[in-house]
Chain A
Amino acid sequence: MTEDRKRIAIAVLGLGGQGGGVLADWIVELGAHNGFVSQGTSVPGVAQRTGSTVYYIEMIPDGPAQPVLALTPVPGDVDIVIASELMEAGRAILRGFVSADRTVLIGSTHRVYAISEKSAMGDGRASGERILAAANERSRAFIGFDMDALSAKTGSVISSVMFGALAGSGALPFPREAFEAAIRAGGKAIQTNLAGFAAGYDAAQGRLAEAVEAVPAIRPTSAAGRAFFARIEEQLPASAHEFAIEGVRRLMDYQDARYAELYLDRLAGIRSVDDGADDWRMTREAARHLALWMSYEDTIRVADLKVRASRFARVRDEVKAAPDQLLHITEYMHPRLEEICETLPAGLGRRILESEGLSRRLHPLFKKGRHVKTTSLRWFLMLSLLAGFRRWRRGTLRYEIEQARIEDWLGLAREVAGRDPALATELILCQRLIKGYGDTFARGLSSYSRIIDRYRALGGHADASTIGKLREAALADEDGVALTGALEELQLAS
């Protein structure tokens, strides 16, 4: 085809409901008012309900003859691709709309996670780096930045930032004023749209002040903290410091310094059997998972976190409540009899749980979820009281149960480490399965127990990769189907 073509082909890839139609309308309008015959098409339908969708625009200088404009983008023939999200940019590349000799790719680098990514039991996120690499490599020019953040900052919608980026990219032969006129002609939310447009324009021209937030390393501020810090530096390998420091900080906050001390003592036990492989991976992972396990989420902890002033401020910020607006917070809590009993002194709690009659009579009281209005005096004081039970936590049934589990886990890891350090590390990593509350917690704990029990039943005849595979299987589905399958396979093999 002749290379001196005047036609411009533009594909807009977005998600239904994101405003891609508005952007497409602006672009069509822009062309039509600047001496071009301009045509847009789309495939709405069900894709409008949150699915991926493509808008396609073509324009050609107006002349005596009627042009024949196409309705679908053809790979290798698209001049500009605008993607409203990183994976949609990826989809444009995947579909061949982006070519190195022709296409200016303008894409927002933020993520709107797909349902498959969101619903994974662990971390199901797709890799953004691969998309960014392909975007740079496969396009004539790639203009990418977080347009969602800019639209939030300017109080506009993402389509106006994308339109600004299109103007700023210089990919279309129209001056900035022509773009702004298209927004004005649209007639809706003109001021905020122009603000978003300006931000997008500047960012595309490389005038984006990208503030990189460096997370400051935690440093001790108290005498106890300094002592712990010195101990960590002295006793633990450098690669484990970050997790150990966070562990100590958290457990002091969770319980007290004595509890943090217990954490470091336990960690030292692991450190002493670590062969140092893989930059002390065993100790590093133990520092992480031991801290998580020791800060198990009991009712005391939840109450404690819910009533803090810092939390009230965070909610206010997150829900964007203006200073002159009042804020009420209601929690959705569902403490079951088990959790209540576990917060009681061990003897009492156990007696209730073991007595069938008592359990039966008390059960109905905790069958229903509670709407706990934390900002009301009654509930606030109740939760504060519960948070204060921290002082007696060591006497609770839950404490007794969890410490026994932790000791069992650490004991197993220490015992295995002498023979097979990699296997010990894998067993330590299994703590990852135990998380959440209620049914979720029960499921995680059961997966963990099934793996550990099987390991013991095999008399220690399992290697590191087997345990790793079982752990992955446990995270594959909610009903434990994959784990059961993997365990059965193991049974057959042994």
Chain B
Amino acid sequence: MAERSFKAEVEQLRIGANEVFHGEGILAVTKALLQSGVAYVGGYQGSPISHLMDVFADANDLMRELDVHFESSASEASAAAMLAASVNYPLRGAVAWKSVVGTNVASDALSNVASGGVTGGALIILGEDYGEGSSIMQERTHAFAMKSQMWLLDPRPNLTAIVDMVEKGFELSEASNTPVMLELRVRACHVTGSFVARDNQRPKLTVSEAAEAPTRDTERIVLPPANFLHEVEKIEKRWPAGIRYIQENRLNEHFGTQNDDIGIIVQGGLFNSLNRALELLDLSDAYGNARLPIYVLNVTYPLIPDEVRDFCSGKRAVLVVEEGQPEFIEHELNTLVRRADLQTRIIGKEVLPRAGEYSGQVIRDGVAKFLRAWAPDRAPAETPAAPPALTPAMVPQRPAGFCTGCPERPIFSAMKLVQKELGEFHVSADIGCHLFSILPPFNIGNTTMGYGLGTAGASAFKPRGKRAIAMMGDGGFWHNGLTSGIGNAVFNQDDNLTIIVDNGYSAATGGQDILSSKAENANRQTNNPIEKAVRGIGIGWAKTLTRTYDVAGMRDAIREALTSPEKGPKVLVAQSECQLNRQRRVKPLMAKAIKSGQRVVRERFGVDPDTCTGDHSCIRLSGCPSLTIKPNPDPLRQDPIAHVENSCVGCGVCGEVSHAAVLCPSFYKAEIVANPTRWDRTRDRVRNWVIGAVQRRSARAIAARTF
């Protein structure tokens, strides 16, 4: 079960022709796939396309009715390899992942499928995680499209355009025997809107029908001599066919006026931001009626030479609005203009920043610069910016961090305690929520080399005395870490420690189930223990701790693994359920139990304000959002005191940490018993009678020495 339930969205997948679909961009894609008669869908979750995977996972019944096969792939490589089904058969298939990272993982299979070419339409849906809110390295997927020759669609960010491009994408793929990439930026994935639906199409051929009647064509297999033929075929057949389809079906669009001596070429996905920039420069309105010509590239690869020539001829200068670097489109435009022997200047990165997201403001500034150089009469007056009201130092940064009660936090608290005893360690981090350890307050982790690659990232360290530590999440472990990390460590006789965070979900991507999930899932095989897997691959020293919140236990286990005389790779599986998912699972159950009169014990933690002295050691070892500070109620003290907010879920890490680190006696655990039994109440009465009597007596003593 994922972080969100998509039941309502699944219902929308069923709507028929002329009904209106409302929702996010990425959900519009799910409906568009069904409307296109897709036969199979796969992919790997990750922002910003997780919802696509989640919706299909929740839409099992509908998929079965339509005979569409859906798979939660083990990795992007698995997903991309799935496209093999479209090589020999006219099966339409789609796969999705977060890019550029997922495309990196998938690229072996992608190169193969792009080399041999496809018979059925193959669509690769990419959430381009670039710019604000991104969590990965800033690179362009565009390069992959170019190097493997796959067409790249970058539709205008509105639902109708996106849906249209999904359907056209399949046709383009089939017309040119080439896999097609559909790139959606983060905000386009999450933009809300609506489009007029069409009926879902059952696939013309289903995957089971294809399997029952196999056909093969050795010319589609990447092996000499076919591999050499493929390259020629790409250039001589598939390229012209692709160009022809794009041109004939007018996938690229024109906006604004026709005749001008300047113009703008823009990636489809940036069109709305460009129009806003022009609107603010008085050169367009809210409906895209620009007062200069705009050529919108809904297909950013390949460019269409005739269309570019027609647009550029008669213009002195054309601005190209292209996000990211290297500026592949700008380079190609220059080549095309040269080949057409036009004198038009192509202006791109000389007025727009080379790096970073192109927000409305960035584009406005770039267009203004362009106008000043090429159409000064239309350029805005330069107004000096008002001095800033605040400086960045006045507003504290708020990096992402572990959630309240996160079971990963105590692992790093324990590591911090071990480091206090044994000194600093080299820590090879992985991808996942656990990577937040590199930030304050933990400051643990040296490098991260990719999903599931924590252990491999430590493999160069062959310790003499001091072992290196590698982190890995359960998601990354099943994605590839079992072989790339653990298997590699066994084979190469490593002596490092790998800590595998086993929280029961692919948590960072939205809480999807994976092989080792504890949840029973009707459509997936779960409950495959990680320790069993690592032992199976040859690990001798493996240990599973089933409660990460036991900070002292975690600390002792880590210390043991780091100091044990035994040689060889060591694996510590640190197991506790992702709190975000646990709360969603447990909270309604608890509320129901209390309502129905059952005895329920709720736990939460607190800090006594009169014993807390405001040193915040506890916060430096925990960093829990619900462990915060508040003004010191003591008029003599200046430093704020620690304070536990009501959002506390009672995981107990703050108490355990103060115990393990010998911090202070200010933490307390409160157990609140709802619907106590008669025995509870009797015991409580007896206690209160004694405690009350003693307290009254001491209250008199306190009163006797009152001020």
Question: How many residues of chain B have a CB within 8 Å of chain A?
Answer: 115
Q: Which of B627-685 contact A (CB under 8 A)?
A: 627-629, 635-640, 646, 655-656, 658-665, 667-674, 676, 680-681, 684
Once the chains are docked, how many angstroms separate the CA of A411 from the CA of B670?
45
Interface centre among A52, A76, A122, A332, by most B CB within 10 Å?
A332
Hey, which bits of chain B sit against chain A, CB under 8 A? 47-48, 129, 132-135, 157-158, 186-188, 190-193, 271-273, 275-277, 279-282, 285-288, 359-361, 364, 388-392, 394-403, 433, 436, 439-441, 508, 552, 604, 606, 608, 610-611, 613-617, 619-620, 623, 625, 627-629, 635-640, 646, 655-656, 658-665, 667-674, 676, 680-681, 684, 687, 690-692, 694-696, 698-699, 702, 705-707
- B187 with A71: CB separation less than 8 A: yes
Task: Say which residue of A42, A115, A243 sits within 8 Å of B399 (CB atoms).
Answer: A115
Contact of A134 among B47, B279, B389 (CB under 8 A): B389
Contact partners of A39 in chain B: CB under 8 A: 191-193
Please report A residues at the B interface, Cβ cutoff 8 Å. Answer: 1-2, 5-7, 15-17, 28, 38-54, 56, 60, 65-77, 87, 90-91, 93-94, 96, 112-123, 125-127, 130-131, 134, 137-138, 152, 218, 220-222, 224-225, 228, 242-243, 245-250, 252-253, 256-257, 288, 291-292, 297, 302, 305-309, 311-312, 315, 318-322, 325-334, 336, 369, 371, 374-377, 380-381, 384, 387, 432, 435-440, 444, 478
A116 touches B610 (CB 8 A): no
Choose one: A46, A311, A478; the contact of B508 (CB below 8 Å): A46
Task: Using A75-B361, A221-B706, A297-B611 as known contacts, say yes or no to A44 and B133 having CB atoms under 8 A apart.
Answer: yes
CB pair A28 B192 closer than 8 Å: yes
Also in contact, A256 and B629, with CB within 8 A (given A68-B286, A68-B288, A131-B395): no
Chain A residues positioned under 8 Å from B695 (CB to CB): 307-309, 312
Most buried by B among A7, A71, A248, A249: A71
Q: A114 to B661: give the CA distance in the assembly, Å.
A: 23
Q: How far is the CA of A7 from the CA of B279 in the complex (A)?
A: 11
The smallest C-beta distance from B694 to any residue of chain A, in angstroms, reads 5
Pick the residue among A2, A44, A291, A333 that contacts B636 (CB under 8 A): A291
Evaluate whether A94 and B392 lie within 8 angstroms (CB atoms) in the complex, with A70-B275, A222-B707 already known.
Answer: yes
Quick one: given A67-B287, A94-B395, A253-B705, are A318 and B606 in contact (CB under 8 Å)? yes
- The answer on a CB contact under 8 Å between A332 and B47 is no
Give the residues in chain A near B619, CB-CB below 8 Å.
115, 118-119
When A225-B706, A325-B676, A329-B668 are in contact, do A123 and B638 touch as well, CB less than 8 Å?
yes
Contact B662 A334 (CB under 8 A): yes
Contact A315:B280 (CB < 8 A) given known A45-B133, A119-B620, A436-B664? no
The answer for the CA separation of A68 and B623 in the assembled complex, in Å, is: 43
A231 to chain B, nearest CB (A): 12
* Interface pair A218/B401, CB less than 8 Å apart: no
Complex Cα spacing A41 to B398, Å: 21
Known contacts A65-B287, A72-B273; A247/B636 CB under 8 A? yes
Evaluate contact between A327 and B698: CB separation under 8 angstroms.
no
- B393 smallest CB distance to A (angstroms): 9
Report yes or no: B698 in contact with A308, Cβ–Cβ below 8 A: yes
Instruction: Kindly provide the distance from the CB of B36 to the nearest chain A CB, expressed in whole angstroms.
Output: 23
Residues of A within 8 A of B361 (CB): 72, 74-75, 96
Q: Indicate which residue in B400, B662, B664, B669 contacts A47 across the interface (CB closer than 8 Å).
A: B400
B508 partner residues in chain A, CB cutoff 8 A: 46, 49
Q: Which label, helix, strand, loop or mixed, suits the secondary structure of the A interface?
A: mixed
Complex Cα distance, B696 from A421, in Å, reads: 47
Least Cβ distance of A36 to chain B in Å?
12
Cβ distance A50 to chain B, nearest Cβ, rounded Å: 5
Provide the residues of chain B in CB contact with A225, threshold 8 Å.
706-707
- When the two chains form their complex, are residues A252 and B707 in contact, meaning their CB atoms are under 8 A apart? yes
Q: Which residues of B contact A306 (CB under 8 A)?
A: 608, 611, 665
Instruction: Assess the B399–A74 pair: CB atoms within 8 A.
Output: no
Q: Which residues of A contact B364 (CB under 8 A)?
A: 74
Known: A41-B187, A71-B273, A333-B665. A252 touches B615 (CB 8 A): no
Known interface pairs A46-B47, A326-B676; A69-B636 also in contact (CB < 8 Å): no
Closest to A139 in B: B389
- In the bound complex, residues from chain A placing their C-beta under 8 Å from that of B360 are 70, 72-74, 77
Of the residues A1, A309, A436, contact of B282 by C-beta under 8 Å: A1
**A319: B residues at CB distance < 8 A:** 604, 606, 646, 670, 672
In contact, B613 and A297 (Cβ under 8 angstroms): yes
Which residue of the partner chain, among A94, A118, A318, contacts B388 with CB atoms under 8 Å? A94
What is the CB-to-nearest-CB distance from B323 to chain A, in angstroms, rounded to a whole number? 12
Identify 20 new A-B residue pairs, CB closer than 8 A, beyond the known A7-B286, A326-B672: A41-B190, A46-B47, A46-B133, A47-B133, A51-B401, A68-B287, A71-B157, A115-B623, A137-B389, A309-B695, A318-B670, A319-B672, A321-B670, A328-B673, A329-B668, A334-B665, A437-B613, A437-B665, A439-B662, A440-B613
Residue of A nearest to B643 (CB): A318
Is the Cβ of A45 less than 8 Å from the Cβ of B186?
yes
Can you give 18 contacting A-B residue pairs, CB < 8 Å? A1-B280, A40-B191, A45-B134, A50-B398, A66-B287, A68-B272, A71-B188, A71-B273, A93-B390, A114-B396, A114-B397, A114-B398, A222-B706, A311-B608, A330-B671, A332-B668, A369-B662, A377-B690
- Bound state CA distance, A93 and B387, in angstroms? 12
Are A50 and B403 in contact, CB atoms less than 8 angstroms apart? yes
Which B residues are in CB contact (< 8 Å) with A121? Answer: 615-616
Q: How far is the CB of A224 from chain B (nearest CB, A)?
A: 8
B628 with A118: CB separation less than 8 A: yes
Q: Which residues of A contact B287 (CB under 8 A)?
A: 65-68
Q: A302-B611, A435-B614 are in contact. Are A369 and B636 (CB under 8 A)?
A: no
Chain B residues lying within 8 Å of A322, measured Cβ to Cβ, are 674
Q: What CA separation (Å) do A52 and B399 show in the bound complex?
A: 7
Query: Are A329 and B191 neighbours in the complex by a CB distance under 8 Å?
Result: no
Query: Are B615 and A435 closer than 8 Å at their CB atoms?
Result: yes
Chain A residues near B187 (CB-CB < 8 A) = 41-43, 56, 71-72
Partner of A369, one of B186, B286, B659: B659
**A43-B132, A46-B135, A87-B395 as given contacts; A70 in contact with B276, CB under 8 Å:** yes
Q: Please list the 10 inter-chain residue pairs (A to B) with the smallest Cβ-Cβ separation, ordered nearest first.
A: A43-B133, A369-B659, A51-B400, A435-B613, A74-B360, A249-B707, A114-B396, A70-B276, A438-B662, A45-B47
Tell me whether B398 and A375 are in contact (CB under 8 A). Answer: no
- Identify the closest chain A residue to B670 (Cβ): A319
Q: Do A91 and B135 touch across chains, with their CB atoms under 8 A apart?
A: no
In the assembled complex, which residues on chain A have CB atoms less than 8 Å from the CB atom of B660?
A: 369
Q: In the complex, what distance in Å separates the CA atom of A22 from the CA atom of B281? A: 33
A440, B188: Cβ atoms closer than 8 Å: no
- A438 contacts B691, CB within 8 Å? no
- List chain B residues, Cβ under 8 A from A53: 133
Q: A216 vs B490: C-alpha distance in the bound complex, in angstroms?
A: 69
A404 to B55, CA, bound (A): 70
CA distance in complex: A70, B191 (Å): 10
Q: How far is the CB of A249 from chain B (nearest CB, A)?
A: 4
In the bound complex, residues from chain B placing their C-beta under 8 Å from that of A77 are 276, 280, 360
- B397 pairs with A116, CB closer than 8 A: yes
- Using CB atoms, name the residue of chain A closest to B25: A41
Docked-complex contact B694 and A381, CB < 8 angstroms? yes
The interface residues of chain A lying within 8 Å CB-to-CB of B671 are: 327-330
Closest chain-B Cβ to A70's Cβ sits at a distance in Å of 4
With beta carbons under 8 angstroms apart, the residue of B277, B403, B441, B635 that contacts A115 is: B441
Please, which residues of chain B bring their CB within 8 A of the CB of A253?
702, 705-707
| Chain A nearest CB, measured from B412 CB (Å) | 13
Establish whether residues A46 and B707, one from each chain, have CB atoms under 8 Å apart when the complex forms. Answer: no
Instruction: Report the nearest B residue to A71, measured CB to CB.
Output: B187
Q: Which of A43, A114, A249, A387 has the most CB of B within 10 A?
A: A43
Chain B residues, Cβ within 8 Å of A74: 276-277, 280, 359-361, 364
A120 to B397, CA, bound (A): 14
Give complex CA distance A193, B515 in Å.
Answer: 39
Contact across chains for A71 and B191 when beta carbons are under 8 A apart: yes
Contact A334 B658 (CB under 8 A): yes
